[in-house]
Amino acid sequence: MERLKIGITCYPTLGGSGVVATELGKLLAEKGHQVHFITHSMPFRLGKFDKNIFYHEVEVNDYYVFKYPPYDLSLASKLAQVVKQEQLDLLHVHYAIPHAVCALLAKQMVGPDLKVVTTLHGTDITVLAQDESLSDLIRYAINGSDAVTAVSEDLIRETRQLLGIEKRIELAYNFVDKRVYYPRDVVSLRKEFAHPDEKILIHISNFRPVKRVTDVVEIFDQVRKEVPARLLFVGEGPELSKVLCQVKERGLLDRVTFCGKQDDVAQLLSLADLMLLPSEKESFGLVALEAMACGVPTIASNAGGIPELITHGETGYLAEIGDVDLMSQLAIGLLKNEPAYRAMREACLHRARYTFCNDVITRQYEALYYQVLGKP
């Protein structure tokens, strides 16, 4: 198949969408495509040098006439410039606002041969589309894109419902690179975090209110009364200080470790016995997939796309949002039942490897690129 020249724009430093966009770019480069990241800073998972990967930094002009530096215009103009200079075939942008809008502006500048593929990740629809001042713009971005994908059926349904979109939206689940996410040998590292008889629970997020991190503390507090356990928090964000106070108030400081932002997530996940993800909203829940690939089941809420990822009773357990008592009971039951836990761990490894495999999803995106370019 013809090698393509692909531009990728994402939030390079933000959560799952940035991770997925970066990992996809790396995998496409491995397959021989030329990949150009066009972002305001270097994507944090970009890693080592690859001859097929290029990075173009978007610089924002801050003239005195601007009350707000116009990042979106700088991005649109940079996109058009890179497309012309590098003769890109298409732009794959992650998030409708502002990235798809900027890509459409770039397309107006360079001509209709440039194709725009937009991936919806969640917050652009579940939060921004409810804002009337933005909903028309999001609809314009989606309808104007040559192809649109979303990371779960639930997100597709919500996009249709909130915006009245009729255009085809392809389902392209998030994925993990099985060469990075697998159960690591952490026997000696584990000794630094917990005694041999203790279980390790983990929560990884950006600590936004939507993650309900205080529920994590509540669940952990109930679990550790029944099962000796420790809790690892990975990440930082607006709710961190509130969570820290809650942990202190409950006298849990000696059982909870705040690891802050971490790069080697697979290593930390391999330490854990259980992941907690009680989110209010979650279009997919990439961290639960990363955990699954490391053989760690998740106790989660049934919000958004989570049930498409976690099969209740097979690769984790689901409960209604906020039902911390049920989540605690499910966690305790699983941690006390060794055979059930082992079976769930195997099911996790199998599901992550075969259903959310990097090869399958990368091929799916490639097929979509060839389709929009009329190169079947």
Spell out a b/e string for 100-138, using b for 16 or more CB atoms within 10 Å of the CB, else e: bbbbbbbbeebeeebbbbbbbbbbbbbebbeeeebbebb
User: Can residue 15 be called a binding residue for ligand GMT (CB under 6 A)?
Assistant: yes
For residue 307, the minimal CB distance to ligand GMT (Å) is: 12
Cβ proximity to ligand GMT, 20 vs 80, nearer residue: 20
For residue 296, the minimal CB distance to ligand GMT (Å) is: 16
DSSP for 93-104 reads: EESIIIIIHHHH
Q: Helix 358-372 vs helix 15-30: angle between axes, to the nearest 10 degrees?
A: 80
CA 248/CA 201 separation, integer angstroms: 18
Binding residue count for ligand GMT, defined by CB under 6 A: 20
Alpha-helix residue ranges (DSSP H) falling in 31-88: 71-86
For residue 232, the minimal CB distance to ligand GMT (Å) is: 19
Give the contact letters, 204-243, x = binds to ligand GMT (CB under 6 A), - = no: --x-x-x---------------------------------
Stretch in the footprint of ligand GMT (CB under 6 A) among 32-40, 105-113, 122-130, 160-168: 122-130
Strand order in 316-319's β-sheet? 256-260, 229-234, 199-204, 274-277, 298-301, 316-319
Cβ proximity to ligand GMT, 22 vs 328, nearer residue: 22
Stretch in the footprint of ligand GMT (CB under 6 A) among 9-17, 163-171, 312-320, 365-373: 9-17
Cβ proximity to ligand GMT, 33 vs 121, nearer residue: 121
Cβ proximity to ligand GMT, 188 vs 241, nearer residue: 241
What is the distance of C-alpha 367 from the center of its chain? 22
For residue 110, the minimal CB distance to ligand GMT (Å) is: 27
Helix (H, G, I), strand (E, B) or coil at 8: strand
User: Can residue 5 be called a binding residue for ligand GMT (CB under 6 A)?
Assistant: no
User: Can residue 282 be called a binding residue for ligand GMT (CB under 6 A)?
Assistant: yes
Helix (H, G, I), strand (E, B) or coil at 6: strand
For residue 301, the minimal CB distance to ligand GMT (Å) is: 11
User: Can residue 270 be called a binding residue for ligand GMT (CB under 6 A)?
Assistant: no
Cβ proximity to ligand GMT, 83 vs 365, nearer residue: 365
For residues 82 and 7, is the Cβ–Cβ distance under 8 A?
yes
CA 78/CA 180 separation, integer angstroms: 32
User: Which residue's Cβ lies closest to ligand GMT?
Assistant: 122
- Token pair 């990241």 is found at 37
The one among 22, 52, 118, 123 contacting ligand GMT by CB under 6 A = 123
Cβ proximity to ligand GMT, 47 vs 209, nearer residue: 209
The one among 9, 17, 34, 328 contacting ligand GMT by CB under 6 A = 17
Our separate counts of H helices and E strands in the chain read: 15, 13
Contacts 24+ apart (CB under 8 A), 133-138: 134/97, 135/162, 135/163, 137/97, 137/101, 138/96, 138/97, 138/163
For residues 237 and 279, is the Cβ–Cβ distance under 8 A?
no
User: Can residue 283 be called a binding residue for ligand GMT (CB under 6 A)?
Assistant: yes
Q: Which residues pair with 116 in a beta bridge?
A: 91
Cβ proximity to ligand GMT, 52 vs 119, nearer residue: 119
User: Can residue 121 be called a binding residue for ligand GMT (CB under 6 A)?
Assistant: yes
User: Can residue 151 be called a binding residue for ligand GMT (CB under 6 A)?
Assistant: yes
User: Can residue 284 be called a binding residue for ligand GMT (CB under 6 A)?
Assistant: yes
